[in-house]
């Protein structure tokens, strides 16, 4: 798995190089059919990632946000790729965007890499290796979620906050709140820098899988509102997630169920 995780890190860095070239040059966005923005950085970064994965792991099918599913991506074992999560953050130039690659096995994200190239942060993890952050000097700093404080720190979507989310958070009076774009939220929770990320709004599986893998490897949990671990590749081609909560300390899930 270490070799596989290194493969994901390498592919993510290649994608990140493409993204940062466009970030430096400036790009214009166009609207996809669902109204969400897309840029040349999205499509070219995904092409670089796919080429790297197919060279190093040719037998593993892929599902990418921009290119869809390759033949054989039937939900049992595949790579799930978001070449640029936080396109709105990319366009607004606040640095909070990520490159995401996950390996899914039988519905579970078993390995993942989240690269935030403008922030200089790379989070990685698998169920075999645990989670770690690769620092700019190349060293690996182990990651572990923290025990939840009485008033947890909540990371909220910078671009997609909803009234339903704010209502859900009323069960934690006095909580701290920080806006944060893209899947970097998962990495920060895995690093013990925050405790919760509730998302009661639309997301796709490629938005969450890599960060979810890192968080699980660090001892955390991403679960539906019913408390079930988030699953991937189970919708027969429907890649939408249900509403979910990303928890650092899994004990927070019990507190939430107790709050109703």
Q: Does the annotation flag 207 for ligand binding?
A: yes
Q: Does the annotation flag 224 for ligand binding?
A: no
Pairwise CA distance, residues 132 & 239, whole Å: 27
Pairwise CA distance, residues 138 & 122, whole Å: 10
Pairwise CA distance, residues 13 & 49, whole Å: 9
Q: Provide φ and ψ at 217, rounded to 5°.
A: -65, -25
Task: Using CB atoms within 10 Å of the CB of residue 31, give its burial: 0 to 12 exposed, 13 to 18 middle, 19+ buried.
Answer: exposed
3-state DSSP call for residue 162? coil
Which value, to the nearest 10 degrees, does the dihedral of the CA atoms of residues 93, 95, 99, 105 take? Answer: -120
| Helix residue ranges per DSSP H, the chain | 2-25, 40-56, 87-92, 163-168, 184-190, 205-217, 251-259
3-state DSSP call for residue 206? helix
Q: Does the annotation flag 84 for ligand binding?
A: yes
Look at residues 135, 146, 120, 149 and name the one whose alpha carbon lies nearest to residue 215.
146
Q: Does the annotation flag 39 for ligand binding?
A: no
Q: In what helix (H) or strand (E) does residue 82 lie, and over which residues does it extend?
A: strand 77-85
Q: Does the annotation flag 82 for ligand binding?
A: yes
Three-state SS letters, 104-126:
EECCEEEEEEEEECCCCEEEEEE
Residues flagged as binding site: 65, 82, 84-87, 207
Residues flagged as binding site for Mg(2+): 65, 82, 84-85, 207
Residues flagged as binding site for substrate: 65, 84-87, 207
């Amino acid at each position: 798995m270490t070799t596989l995780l290194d493969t994901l890190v390498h592919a993510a860095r290649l994608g990140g190089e493409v993204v940062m070239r466009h970030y430096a040059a400036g790009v214009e966005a166009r609207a996809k059919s669902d109204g969400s923005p897309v840029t040349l950085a999205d499509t070219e970064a995904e092409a670089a990632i796919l080429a790297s994965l197919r060279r190093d792991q040719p037998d593993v099918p892929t599902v990418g946000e921009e290119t869809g599913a390759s033949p054989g991506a039937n939900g049992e074992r595949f790579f799930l790729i978001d070449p640029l999560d936080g396109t709105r953050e990319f366009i607004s130039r606040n640095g909070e965007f990520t490159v995401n690659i996950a390996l899914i096995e039988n519905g579970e994200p078993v390995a993942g890499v989240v690269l935030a190239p403008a922030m200089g942060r790379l989070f990685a993890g698998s169920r075999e290796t645990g989670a770690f952050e690769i620092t700019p000097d190349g060293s690996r700093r182990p990651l572990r979620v923290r025990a939840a404080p009485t008033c947890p720190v909540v990371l909220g979507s910078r671009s997609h906050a909803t009234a339903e989310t704010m209502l859900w958070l009323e069960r934690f009076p006095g909580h701290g709140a920080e806006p944060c774009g893209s899947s970097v939220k998962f990495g920060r929770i895995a690093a013990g820098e925050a405790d919760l990320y509730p998302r009661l709004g639309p997301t796709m599986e490629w938005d969450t899988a890599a960060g979810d893998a890192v968080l699980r490897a660090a001892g955390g949990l991403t679960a539906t509102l019913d408390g079930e671990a988030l699953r991937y590749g189970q919708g027969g081609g429907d890649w939408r997630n249900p509403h979910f909560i990303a928890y650092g300390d899994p004990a927070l899930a019990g507190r939430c169920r107790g709050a109703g």
